[in-house]
Amino acid sequence: MNTLLNINDQEILLNRFPKSNDKNLQAWDSSDEYVLNHLHSLNLSNAKIMIVNDSFGTLACALKDHQLFWQSDSYIAKCAVEQNIEDNQLSPTIEYLDSLTAPKITPDVVLIKLPKSNALLAQQLQLIGEIISHDTIVIGFAKAKDVHNSGLKLFQKYIGDTTTSLAKKKSRLIFATKNNAIKNNDNDHLTSWPLPDTELTIFNHAGVFANNQLDIGAQLMLENIPKDLKDGYVIDLGCGNGVLGLGVALANPEATVRFTDESYMSVASARLNCEKGFESQDRFEFDWHDCLSGYDYDQADLIISNPPFHQGKTVTDHIAWQMFHDAYRTLKHGGTLRIVGNRHLAYHIKLQRIFDNCTTVASNSKFVILDAIKY
């Protein structure tokens, strides 16, 4: 796998996070190169640059001589940029921002890689539109196959006049200029839906998993929530909007529930749902984190999860592996990992290997609920 990016007279060592030898998992793509080359041709020095959705820190490393405001929804992306900055022994001036926080200055340049979801793009462009001036250079970038009219319309709606470049190496740039007449009042990018058989409404920040309806795997899990946890300690691992942990909290009024996810919008949604659904917040905890890395051994009675099987656009089982290993470490002896997964993912093989046991709790034609106990 190529880990050395040669760009604009710099050689940068770049890895994904976690590091991988898989040749399909390169840390940058041709759209990163296209936007960096374009920016280089503009000959800017000492610019204040806002970078949005830099998957593994390529832009942050390459633009190290500027003042950087680096915004991402992904905790993994933040780990990657920190790792790559360290590996290249760089010391950029960089402020890290979560996806609901804007820089306190007006950037000279905004570089935004198109995210997977148009809902997240709309929320990010609205936030950008509120802090830029007519002189700010706004450039979107992505693989050409990911640049659709629907996305371009969002640049038009939230920023102003929008044009696109020619495609180069199957990538495309989007140029937008702030139109000061645009005033968007649709500040509310939340979606919501009622949680069946409860009085709860599930709210979702932009781009969160299952933001329009209950996931069918999660539904099967909610039909199989343990009810005997008393004052146990439960972790909802990869919580999304928190629907599984909320199910645990409803069925076990004394249990403490910790919601963790690598997506900031997810953790923010889970927090909002606890605030809206429960009077007391004392038994809820929230953590923007990569799986359970660094968690203490032997602390949880139950870990509940609907694991992801892709990272960004790449299908992978490494996150499930990491979640299961981390869960084994973090569970108390006698504690249970309960997961829901698509049958074809065959999670029972992984669980059997790590826990040396695995039982099927429930199943339907598509999904299976599995328990593994740490003895």
Ligand X SMILES: C[S@@+](CC[C@H](N)C(=O)[O-])C[C@H]1O[C@@H](n2cnc3c(N)ncnc32)[C@H](O)[C@@H]1O
Can you give the binding site for ligand X, defined by CB under 6 A? 76, 209-210, 215, 218, 238-240, 243-244, 260-263, 266, 290-291, 306, 308, 319
DSSP 225: -
Give the C-alpha separation, 247 to 228, whole Å: 13
Give the C-alpha separation, 288 to 292, whole Å: 10
Q: Which is nearer to ligand X, 92 or 312 (CB)?
A: 312
Which position has the token pair 């890895």? 15
Q: Measured from the CB of residue 7, what is the shortest distance to ligand X in angstroms?
A: 28
Q: Measured from the CB of residue 293, what is the shortest distance to ligand X in angstroms?
A: 8
Q: Measured from the CB of residue 97, what is the shortest distance to ligand X in angstroms?
A: 18
Q: Measured from the CB of residue 233, what is the shortest distance to ligand X in angstroms?
A: 18
DSSP 124: H
Q: Which is nearer to ligand X, 58 or 263 (CB)?
A: 263
> Any idea what the Cα angle at residue 249 is, between residues 246 and 251, rounded to 5°?
110
Q: Which is nearer to ligand X, 216 or 373 (CB)?
A: 216
Give the C-alpha separation, 156 to 151, whole Å: 9
Q: Which is nearer to ligand X, 73 or 108 (CB)?
A: 73
Q: Which is nearer to ligand X, 157 or 271 (CB)?
A: 271
Beta carbons within 8 Å of 186's beta carbon, 6+ residues apart: 126
Instruction: Go through 143-167 and write b for each residue having 16 or more CB atoms within 10 A of its CB, e for each that does not.
Output: bbebbeeebbebbbbbbbebeebee
Q: Which is nearer to ligand X, 33 or 262 (CB)?
A: 262
Beta carbons within 8 Å of 42's beta carbon, 6+ residues apart: 137
Q: Measured from the CB of residue 181, what is the shortest distance to ligand X in angstroms?
A: 37
Q: Measured from the CB of residue 263, what is the shortest distance to ligand X in angstroms?
A: 4
Give the C-alpha separation, 370 to 361, whole Å: 6
Q: Measured from the CB of residue 92, what is the shortest distance to ligand X in angstroms?
A: 25
Tokens in use for 14?
């770049």
Q: Which is nearer to ligand X, 51 or 218 (CB)?
A: 218
Q: Which is nearer to ligand X, 107 or 245 (CB)?
A: 245
Q: Which is nearer to ligand X, 48 or 350 (CB)?
A: 350
Q: Measured from the CB of residue 210, what is the shortest distance to ligand X in angstroms?
A: 4
Q: Measured from the CB of residue 49, what is the shortest distance to ligand X in angstroms?
A: 26
Q: Measured from the CB of residue 155, what is the shortest distance to ligand X in angstroms?
A: 25
Q: Which is nearer to ligand X, 176 or 244 (CB)?
A: 244
